[in-house]
Amino acid sequence: MKEVKISIGKEPYSLYIGTNLLEDIDSLLSSHISEKSVFVIIDENVLNYYEEKIIKPLKNNTSKLSYYIVQSGEKNKSIKTYQSIMEKLIDNKYNRNSVIIAIGGGVVGDMAGFVASTYMRGIDIIHIPTTLLAQVDSSIGGKTGINYSRFKNLIGTFYHPKFVVIDTNTLNTLPNREYKAAFGEIIKYGMLADYTILLDLEKNFEEYISRSINLDNIILKCIQIKEEIVMRDETDLGVRKILNLGHTFAHGIESTTEFSKLFHGEAVALGLLIVSKLSFNLKLITEDYYKFIHKLIKKYFNNIFPVSINTDELVNAMVMDKKNKCNDITFILPLGKEKTKVCNNISIETIKNTILEANNEYSCK
Ligand SMILES: NC(=O)c1ccc[n+]([C@@H]2O[C@H](COP(=O)([O-])OP(=O)(O)OC[C@H]3O[C@@H](n4cnc5c(N)ncnc54)[C@H](O)[C@@H]3O)[C@@H](O)[C@H]2O)c1
């Protein structure tokens, strides 16, 4: 097991990464949970696999333990789920000294973080991410949130956990499509800040896809890039915006497909493809770089195409994105290896033409 200090927020917190950490989860967390009332927010599939391993030991070491099962799927990152979790916390008399433990992917992490940050104006939370996407990205950085109507992450807060525990053994039960989706965010980190990640993904494609490679390195690389960026801008007012590379298109695609066609990481991969095309059309990246990114994403995501994108609907959804100013869509554009810029003032015509080209080129009809 390795312990890493994450220096974001008011108090740095520990991130533990390794294998078989769930076996001793009660002792790993004991300083923080023993004699406390603990409320676990857990993904339904994760509960099926890990109930014996997680819930039982936690029960023995806490003064009270109950749990809420979040149904799988992005559409459950909703105000309805939030409300019913709140009701359970209130009915069971959880108080300011209670601790929430989030066990699942990014959906559970974002939801539980939002619950923890708002229940009684904030109670402690520990994240145990169980998808590769949540391990490389969503479990650190402090963004919490739920979707509202068709708007992705419209309601949310910034709120940091007390601990993050990454047991990479949990990935053994993660289905292939869910596992591969994480490479959307991993490729994003490579494009943003570490070209060697992209070369590694290209070179070791078979090993990554067959999961025959140790993932600790790539998880820690992504986390360290995120930490470094978030430390400089915790609340997304400046440099943190670059973490949204590919996400303007991705969130628009998720919203226009009612959060039901693509996993978030897949939408990010498609978003990275289209935004690279946009940069290429604006002559901001070379043909070689564009082709390299295109080839890499197609390699990892050959299965997500075709998905139908309605150009007008997508543009309308992107106009509503909370990151925009004055109806002008904000994009993070790649400028080349490890370089990006925040950009407004791109004509709607250029954006629509790029989506149409992408539709034809990637056969996303
Ligand atoms: N807060 C942030 O900074 C941040 C960053 C990136 C993404 N996100 C959010 O994360 C979400 C996507 O997260 P995700 O990709 O983890 O999806 P997810 O939480 O929906 O999980 C994907 C699927 O995997 C299943 N699952 C989870 N762990 C499993 C395991 N160990 N074994 C078997 N099945 C398992 C779940 O039941 C689900 O069906 C999106 O809502 C996105 O907006 C947040």
What does the pLDDT read at residue 64? 95
What does the pLDDT read at residue 321? 76
- Do both 274 and 200 map to the same domain? yes
What does the pLDDT read at residue 364? 46
The residue from 149, 173, 197 where one domain ends is 173
Residue 265's CATH number: 1.20.1090.10
Residue nearest to atom 6 of ligand 1 (CA): 138
194 lines ligand 1 (CB under 6 A): no
What does the pLDDT read at residue 323? 72
Backbone dihedral angles phi then psi of residue 168, each to the nearest 5 degrees: -70, -15
134 alpha carbon – ligand 1 mean position (Å): 6
What does the pLDDT read at residue 365? 43
Residue 15's CATH number: 3.40.50.1970
Alpha helices in the chain (DSSP H): 25-28, 30-33, 44-50, 56-60, 79-91, 106-118, 132-133, 176-193, 195-203, 205-209, 216-232, 247-256, 264-281, 287-300, 311-319, 348-361
104 alpha carbon – ligand 1 mean position (Å): 7
- Do both 87 and 68 map to the same domain? yes
Q: Residue 109 CA to chain centroid, in angstroms? A: 9
| pLDDT digit string, tens, across residues 103-128 | 999 999 999 999 999 999 999 999 99
| Ligand 1 atom at shortest distance from the alpha carbon of 73 | 20
| pLDDT digit string, tens, across residues 316-364 | 999 887 777 666 899 999 999 999 999 998 999 999 999 999 888 776 4
- Do both 108 and 144 map to the same domain? yes
173 lines ligand 1 (CB under 6 A): yes
- Do both 89 and 150 map to the same domain? yes
- Do both 160 and 194 map to the same domain? no
177 alpha carbon – ligand 1 mean position (Å): 12
175: exposed, middle or buried (Cβ count in 10 Å: 0-12, 13-18, 19+): exposed
Task: Identify the domain containing residue 86 by its residue range.
Answer: 2-173
- Do both 146 and 226 map to the same domain? no
Residue nearest to atom 36 of ligand 1 (CA): 72
Distance of alpha carbon 247 from alpha carbon 298, whole angstroms = 18
Phi-psi region of 102 (alpha: psi -120 to 50; beta: other; left: phi over 0): beta
| pLDDT digit string, tens, across residues 37-57 | 999 999 999 999 999 999 989
Determine the length of the chain.
Answer: 365
What does the pLDDT read at residue 362? 73
105 alpha carbon – ligand 1 mean position (Å): 3
Distance of alpha carbon 219 from alpha carbon 334, whole angstroms = 22
Distance of alpha carbon 199 from alpha carbon 128, whole angstroms = 29
133 alpha carbon – ligand 1 mean position (Å): 6
Which residue's structure tokens are 């007390």?
162
Low-confidence ranges of the chain (pLDDT < 50): 364-365
- Do both 337 and 247 map to the same domain? yes
Residue nearest to atom 39 of ligand 1 (CA): 72
- Do both 237 and 342 map to the same domain? yes
Whole-structure pTM value: 0.96
The residue from 117, 144, 173 where one domain ends is 173
